Amino acid sequence: MINTNEMIDDPKTDKIGKLIKELSSKTTWNKEKISLKEKLILEMEKEKYQTFWGHSKRYHLYEIGSGYLYKVPENKRGNLKIFRGKLVRIVCIGQDRFDRIFMVGKVKIKLND
């Protein structure tokens, strides 16, 4: 489970971030929004993002295209274990009733601490 106080706002300044921002700006699921989602997934796959299923409440992501940055603790287990000590972006890319499909990958963004 990720605590909400550990979630970091994503500045969305890199290529993937800009696609997320554009996807989030569309209000209805039409051909354009579906195409943007497919572009986003392809770009994340190029950057070696990993895909996994999880519960929406565990990751605090409910809508497709929503996401945040997260500094993975050294003792993290489960889906994020391979990213221990890294800054990652977690993005919701699909859903069913309770579970979501997420993609997670390392990011190279400088944060203003």
pLDDT along the chain (113 residues), means of 10: 92 95 94 97 97 94 95 95 96 92 92 64
Task: Supply angle C-alpha 40, 12, 52, rounded to 5.
Answer: 45
Question: What domain count does the chain have?
Answer: 1
- Whether 77 is in a domain gets the answer yes
pLDDT of residue 108: 85
Task: Supply angle C-alpha 42, 44, 46, rounded to 5.
Answer: 70
As to burial, measured by CB atoms within 10 angstroms (0-12 exposed, 13-18 middle, 19+ buried), residue 60 is middle
pTM: 0.93
- Whether 73 is in a domain gets the answer yes
- Whether 1 is in a domain gets the answer no
Domain holding 99, by residue range, is: 7-106
- Whether 112 is in a domain gets the answer no
- Whether 64 is in a domain gets the answer yes
Are 52 and 63 in contact by the 8 Å Cβ rule? The answer is no
